[in-house]
Structure 1
Amino acid sequence: MQNIIDYYTDSEDPCLGQYIRGHLYLEFALNKIIDRTYELVNLAFSAGVDFSDCSVFNDYCFSQENYGVEGILIELMGNTFSKLFYAIEATY
């Protein structure tokens, strides 16, 4: 993989090399973001947060394909805030 990057970086078209490096970086970063959001969903579930669809935290591939980062974060934040709201409400 490094040889391909070096080839395009050192090629006659520097824009192509920058494009490929940028594309690979974004792909790597997106995978890390998806991994981290999936971790957070599992931590929230372990802490007692209820989710409307168990596939959000049970099936990594399904979550990635059907929810994406935005969908996972929406499920995570909405359900976590609901859990916190009900916990605070119960103390009054």
Structure 2
Amino acid sequence: MHTTGVKQKVPIPIDPVRKIYAIPTHSAAQYECHWFFYHHIRAIESDRKDENLAVVVVSDHRQINVNVSRYTLEKQLQRAAVCVVRFSGLICC
């Protein structure tokens, strides 16, 4: 939060050197929270039947349905990208 200003559903830098970041779909306190790894997300699509649901396509081409909108997930992906950029500037050889 201190580096990015994000206070809720904060992306977690697991290993910034290897660029491993986890992204929550909901508050971590909620049972329905899924965690995705930033570099494994290939696409985020809206569910064909319900635009309030999303489908995440991961690196092995599996499609994972989540109970959150495409917009929310894209916002989370943007937050994680800010983390990646900010933390990569802090890492030295």
Q: TM-score, normalised by structure 1?
A: 0.35
Which structure has more relative contact order (CA 8 Å, sep 6+)? It is 2
Report the structure, 1 or 2, having the larger helix content: 1
Larger radius of gyration: 1
Q: When you count strand as a share of all residues, which structure comes out higher? A: 2
